Homo-oligomer: A and B are copies of this chain.
Amino acid sequence: MDSEKEFLSNYSLSDYERPSVTADVAAFMISSEGSDNYRKNPENKLQILLIRRGGHPYKDMWALPGGFLQSSETIEECALREIHEETNVMPSSIMPVGVFSKPGRDPRGWIISSAYVSIISEESVKQVGMDDASDAQWFSISFDRDDEGTYHLDLSYEDIRLNALLAEEKTRFGRTEFRITENGGLAFDHAAIIAMALTVLRNEAKNYDAIFDFLPEKFTLTALQKVQETIMNVSVLPANFRRMVSGYVEETDEYVRGEGHRPAKLYTRKR
């Protein structure tokens, strides 16, 4: 009877065909754009990071940042590493979206992808700066369902406009998947990944979990509310938002002054 040691030394996995495994990341950021009126608060826009593909396949189209899993890392570490390589920012954490493994999804061969959402603060992006000539760019994103049940995904950066139409797949256990019905400018199945990633993000923003990472350490409650409203695309009465978020934040004794209106108290995340 052979020992385990003996068994393992003879063991070989090479009989099986193996897929390449990538981690793709939907990195979200919220940019605030100052207005003409000095006393008005800035408008927020939800942005997602895309990379222009330099080579085939899908040459010159836009794709999510991602890369091949290495044997020395977990797949979450791989996702964090990819984001860091593209942005020079290391997100504090990521959340899983799903595994995409439909045969034929990548013309290069058998490649499956585990997708993640990561949240990046505008503050940290501004600190490291962003190479305008880089093939990585932040696109404004909008994603909504029309009356017929079709989902519209629209991405834009300067003159570039990408868009896709998606249908909701049979959904069970609170999860939603999407099938691409029309695709303009996005590589691979990335339109479906982005749709699902944004759905995941919206779900987490609902319970005040994913909204803090968009902001600096100290923030005003109005800024926090704007973050949630930008992600969810719905608005709440300030009084109610404050009451509902009160359990997740802590007061500081600092204020934001010089805005042309009543100063706002700064808060930090509780714990």
Contact = CB atoms under 8 A, between A and B. Distances in A.
Interface of A: 2, 4, 7-8, 11, 13, 16-21, 55-57, 59, 68-76, 93, 95-96, 98-99, 101-103, 107-112, 114, 172-175, 204, 207, 209-210
Copies in the complex: 2
**For the complex of A and B, 9 pairs with smallest distance between CB atoms:** A7-B56, A18-B18, A95-B173, A75-B101, A4-B56, A71-B110, A74-B101, A93-B172, A13-B109
Q: Max chain B CB contacts within 10 Å: which of A21, A55, A73, A93?
A: A21
A75 B110 CA distance: 12
Contacts of A210: 173
Q: Max chain B CB contacts within 10 Å: which of A114, A173, A175?
A: A173
A96 B99 contact: yes
A109 to B, nearest CB: 5
B20 A18 contact: yes
A93 B173 contact: yes
A131 B93 CA distance: 45
A97 to B, nearest CB: 10
B8 A108 contact: yes
